Amino acid sequence: FLSLVSTTWHSNDDDVYRAPPIDRSILPTAPRAAREPNIDRSRLPKSPPYTAFLGNLPYDVTEESIKDFFRGLNISAVRLPREPTNPERLKGFGYAEFEDIDSLFQALSLNEE
């Protein structure tokens, strides 16, 4: 959600200064899903494993729900580390491994979804 506000400043002389106009050409106009992901392909691995870090996961997430989230991509493995003192509790992060670089790229484009 983006909110644009016009700001006005007053000086001691009661002269009014306005903020410069907003260049609307730099604002996103398409939904995030329709825009090209901002991922530098040169930073992706050149050979397997093609692994993505999954952060801020709910503690009740399952491997199946991760695979369902990445449905349509070639996902080969999911790892969800658990607390050593309480093996029932997940740590809140994990890893998804993909079979090919294109699946990894598409998965990374889902960041913040």
In tens digits, what is the pLDDT along the chain, a chain of 113 residues?
333 443 444 445 555 555 566 555 555 555 555 555 678 888 888 999 999 999 999 999 999 999 999 999 999 999 999 999 998 899 999 999 999 999 999 999 888 77
Domains of the chain (ranges plus CATH)?
A: 48-108 (3.30.70.330)
Query: What's at 19, amino acid-wise?
Result: A
Is the preceding omega at residue 49 within 30 degrees of 0, hence cis? yes
Query: In sequence order, what are the residues at sequence separation of 6 or more whose Cβ sits closer than 8 angstroms to the Cβ of residue 22?
Result: 4
Q: What is the pTM of this model?
A: 0.65
Distance CA 93, CA 38 (A): 22
- Residue 104 burial class via C-beta count within 10 angstroms: exposed 0-12, middle 13-18, buried 19 and up: buried
